[in-house]
Amino acid sequence: MSDNEAPAGYRWASTEAGPVLVKTKRKAPEASLKKRCRAAYEQWKLQNPSIRCRLLIYSAGNLKSEKGQVYAIGTPGTGDILVGICGTCLMVETKSLSGRARDTQLAMKVDWEATGNPYVMVRTVVEFTDALTQIAAQRGKLF
């Protein structure tokens, strides 16, 4: 195996600290939902051009360096998508139809909502866009 070839089940990822070895995973149903939510967000923005908003994809987990060091990234339990919209920040956790929230995700929901910001767990794209519409309507941006 050459220096830049990753072992089976791993891939190299570029980071500010240099290349790190990351375990490859099967694509979860949540990954597909997250991608579809991003596309739906872009469509929602086109349909509501007067509403200022910004979507950020968030990741948490572990990265392993070439030397075997493990680096934790992100905050466990944080949602997959953050949307700044109408003066608030919506945290979105995507789940498959059978997916269940982990304890860290449930704790984050409580903590996030305690800051006065909304949190939703979505299983469909419609639930995601409905949350955006509801926030805009509550803030008087949609009539």
* Confidence (pLDDT) at 59: 85
Burial of 98 (0-12, 13-18, 19+ CB in 10 A): exposed
Per-residue pLDDT of 24-72, as tens digits, reads: 766 677 888 999 999 999 999 999 999 999 999 998 888 888 888 999 8
- The DSSP bridge pattern shows strands 10-15 and 18-23 to be antiparallel
* Cα 4 from chain centroid (whole Å): 29
Q: pLDDT tens digits, residue range 10-28?
A: 788 888 888 888 877 666 7
Torsion angles phi and psi, residue 130, rounded to 5: -65, -35
Instruction: Work out the pLDDT band at 101, boundaries 50, 70, 90.
Output: very high
Q: Indicate if the pLDDT at residue 102 is higher than 50.
A: yes
